[in-house]
């Protein structure tokens, strides 16, 4: 069984600011305090395709899982586990698109999570607003012994992913506001010069 859900969010900030904030989401000095489930982020590969003008990046995102349900705790021998996710992204600034796919690299025998996200200019207000779309699919492997509880685990994971996604969105909003203030104060400074 697959559990899937979609979400959308409108940022009232232009595309270049929101995508900048999205990169900073995991690398900001405040990240450990705000997104405490994120333990570590590394860039594993980056490639700038000069002909197409696109940036391809692969990052690893190491997260702490939510506290595991009792039966899994017995199985794994720990209250929570560390999980490595791999995030692949393509940014095309001429088309103003950013596409991100994140999958879990750990525990794939137990659960598969795939999160597809995109940032694009909002059709109603392309110069000043950005629309974020995200589709998350979660699938627990149907072990016979686990089948009865798999649904519960999926729901719990879905709840937690949604909570973390909201936290991440709020943080991107905060960084956008900060970037906005920074750019307007430098514009003001330039104007007075």
Binding site for other proteins (CB under 8 A): 15-17, 19-20, 23-24, 27, 39-40, 42-48, 50, 53-55, 58, 60, 62, 64, 82, 84, 86, 91, 93-94, 105-106, 179
Nearer to other proteins, 97 or 164 (CB): 97
Nearer to other proteins, 33 or 50 (CB): 50
Q: Which of 23, 103, 7 is nearest to 55 (CA)?
A: 23
Least separation, in Å, of the C-beta of 96 and other proteins? 9
Q: From CA 65, how far away is CA 61, in angstroms rounded?
A: 12
Least separation, in Å, of the C-beta of 145 and other proteins? 26
Least separation, in Å, of the C-beta of 172 and other proteins? 13
Contact indicator for 55, 90 with CB cutoff of 8 Å: yes
- Helix/strand/coil for 87: strand
Least separation, in Å, of the C-beta of 15 and other proteins? 8
Least separation, in Å, of the C-beta of 90 and other proteins? 12
32 vs 29, 41, 134, 139, CA distance in Å? Answer: 7, 11, 23, 28
Nearer to other proteins, 55 or 76 (CB): 55
Q: Using the 8-state DSSP alphabet, how is residue 110 labeled? A: T
DSSP 55-117: EEEEEEEEEEPPPPPHHHHHHHTSSS-EEEEEEEEEEETTTTEEEEEEEE-SSTTTEEEEEEE
């Amino acid at each position: 069984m697959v559990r899937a859900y979609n979400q959308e969010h409108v940022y009232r900030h232009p595309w270049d600011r929101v995508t900048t904030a999205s990169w900073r989401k995991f690398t900001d000095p405040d990240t450990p305090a705000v997104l405490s489930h994120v333990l570590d982020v590394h860039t594993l590969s980056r490639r700038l395709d000069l002909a197409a003008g696109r940036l391809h990046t692969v990052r690893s995102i190491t997260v702490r899982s939510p506290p595991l349900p009792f039966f899994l705790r017995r199985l794994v021998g720990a209250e929570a586990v560390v999980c490595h996710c791999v995030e692949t992204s393509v940014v095309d600034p001429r088309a103003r698109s950013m596409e991100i796919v994140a999958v879990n690299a750990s525990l794939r025998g137990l659960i598969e999570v795939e999160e597809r996200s995109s940032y694009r200019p909002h059709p109603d207000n392309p110069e000043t607003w950005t629309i974020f779309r995200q589709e998350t699919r979660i699938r627990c492997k149907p072990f016979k012994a686990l089948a009865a509880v798999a649904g519960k685990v999926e729901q719990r994971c879905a709840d937690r992913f949604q909570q973390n996604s909201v936290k991440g969105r709020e943080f991107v909003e905060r960084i956008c506001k900060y970037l906005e203030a920074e750019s307007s104060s430098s514009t003001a400074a330039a104007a007075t010069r």
